[in-house]
A and B are shown apart, each in its own frame.
Chain A
Amino acid sequence: MDLKRISASAKNTWCPGCGNFSILNTVKTVIGSIVDGGVPLEKIIMVDGIGCHGKIADYININSFYGLHGRSVPVATAIKIAKPDCKVLVFAGDGDAYGEGLEHLLFAAKRNCDITMIVHNNRVYGLTTGQSSPTSPQGHKGRSTPFGQHEQPFNPLELALAAGASFVARGYSNSMDELKKIITDAVNHPGFALVDVLQVCATFFNRYDVYNKQVYELKDHDAGNRDAAVVKAREWNYDTESPIALGIFYKQIRETFERSFPMPPETPQPRIDSIKKILQKFV
Chain B
Amino acid sequence: MNEFSVLIGGSAGDGIDAAGVVIARLFAAIGYHAYIYRDYPSLIRGGHTISIIRLSRQRIAAHSNAIDILLAMNQETIDVHKLQVKKSGFALYDPDSIKSVDLPGCGVPLAAVVKELAAPVIMRNTCMLGALCKAADISWDVVEPVLRNSFPKETDMNLQVARRGYDACTTFLKIDAFAATERLPLVTGNDAIGLGLASAGLEAYAAYPMTPASGVLHFLAQHAEALSLDVVHAESEIAVMLMALGFAYAGKKAAVGTSGGGFCLMTEGVSLAGMAELPVVVVVGQRPGPSTGLPSYTAQTELHFVLHSGQGEFPRLIVAPGDAEEAYYWSAWALKMAWKYQIPAFIMSDKTLCEGLYNLDIAIAEQPIDENPVIWDGTAPYGRYRYTETGVSPMAFPGDAGALVKINSYEHDEFGVTVDDAATTIAMMDKRFKKEKYLSADVEKYEAVKVYGNKDSSVAVLCWGSNKAVCVELALERGLKVIQPLVLAPFPVEQFRAALKGVDTLIDVEHNATGQLANLIGHYGFKVDKKILKYDGRPFTVDELTEKIAMLSREGK
Contacts and interface: CB of A to CB of B under 8 A. Distances in A.
Nearest to B234: A74
A279 B360 contact: yes
A268 interface: yes
B314 interface: no
A73 B235 CA distance: 11
B239 A107 contact: yes
Interface stretch (A54-62, A211-219, A231-239): A54-62
Contacts of A261: 230
Contacts of B247: 78-79, 81-82
Given A67-B409, A275-B362, A282-B187, A79 B398 contact: yes
Contacts of A283: 183-186
Contacts of A81: 204, 230, 232, 247
A21 interface: no
Nearest to B223: A278
Contacts of B417: 8, 10, 58
Contacts of A79: 246-247, 249-250, 398
Contacts of A276: 362
A104 interface: yes
A125 to B, nearest CB: 18
A201 B17 CA distance: 60
Given A271-B201, A279-B362, A63 B234 contact: no
A75 B242 contact: yes
Contact of A42 (B187, B199, B203, B404): B404
B399 A42 contact: yes
B355 to A, nearest CB: 15
B267 to A, nearest CB: 11
A146 interface: no
Contacts of B401: 40, 42
Interface string B393-411: 0000011111111111110
A271 B198 contact: yes
Contact of A82 (B187, B251, B268, B400): B251
Interface string B506-524: 0000000000000000000
Contact of B269 (A50, A71, A282): A71
A78 B184 CA distance: 36
A256 interface: no
A76 B314 CA distance: 24
A65 interface: yes
A76 B252 CA distance: 13
Contacts of B235: 74, 103-104, 107
Nearest to B235: A107
Nearest to B404: A63
Interface string A254-272: 0000000110110010011
Interface string A133-177: 000000000000000000000000000000000000000000000
A24 interface: no
Contacts of A128: none
A78 B198 contact: no
Contacts of B251: 82
Nearest to B200: A271
Given A40-B401, A62-B404, A74 B366 contact: no
Contacts of A63: 398, 404-406
Interface string B350-370: 000000000010100010000
A43 interface: yes
Contact of B185 (A73, A83, A280): A280
B269 A68 contact: yes
A277 interface: yes
Nearest to B206: A78
A54 to B, nearest CB: 9
B132 interface: no
A116 interface: no
B98 to A, nearest CB: 33
A82 B242 contact: no
A74 B242 contact: yes
B228 interface: yes
A78 B249 CA distance: 9
Nearest to B401: A42
Given A83-B399, A278-B195, A65 B249 contact: yes
A62 B415 CA distance: 11
Nearest to A70: B238
A282 B186 contact: yes
A77 interface: yes
A9 to B, nearest CB: 8
A58 to B, nearest CB: 5
Contacts of A67: 242, 245, 272, 276, 407, 409
A74 B230 contact: no
A271 B409 contact: no
Interface residues of A, number: 52
A67 B412 CA distance: 12
A89 to B, nearest CB: 12
A275 B400 CA distance: 30
B436 interface: no
Given A78-B250, A271-B201, A279-B362, A65 B269 contact: no
Contacts of B179: none
Nearest to A264: B228
A62 B416 CA distance: 11
A223 interface: no
Nearest to B231: A261
Interface in B251-309: 251-252, 254, 268-269, 272, 276
Contacts of B195: 275, 278-279
A261 B238 CA distance: 21
A155 B178 CA distance: 72
B398 A71 contact: no
B533 interface: no
B244 interface: yes
B157 to A, nearest CB: 22
Nearest to B246: A78
A45 interface: yes
Most chain A CB inside 10 Å of its own CB: which residue of B201, B254, B408: B408
Interface in A112-139: none
B243 interface: yes
Given A74-B246, A107-B235, A64 B399 contact: no
Interface string B411-433: 00000111000000000000000
A81 B240 CA distance: 14
A50 B408 CA distance: 10
A78 B244 contact: yes
Contacts of A277: 226
Contact of B398 (A10, A73, A83, A264): A83
B227 interface: yes
B399 A275 contact: no
Contact of A66 (B206, B228, B403, B407): B407
B228 A265 contact: yes
Nearest to A62: B404
A240 interface: no
A278 B197 CA distance: 14
B404 A82 contact: no
13 contacts: A42-B398, A64-B416, A65-B249, A65-B407, A73-B239, A74-B234, A74-B246, A78-B247, A81-B232, A82-B203, A82-B247, A86-B399, A274-B223
Given A275-B195, A275-B227, 5 more contacts: A67-B245, A68-B242, A82-B247, A275-B199, A281-B185
For the complex of A and B, 10 pairs with smallest distance between CB atoms? A78-B246, A82-B250, A282-B185, A74-B242, A75-B246, A74-B239, A78-B243, A63-B398, A107-B235, A66-B408
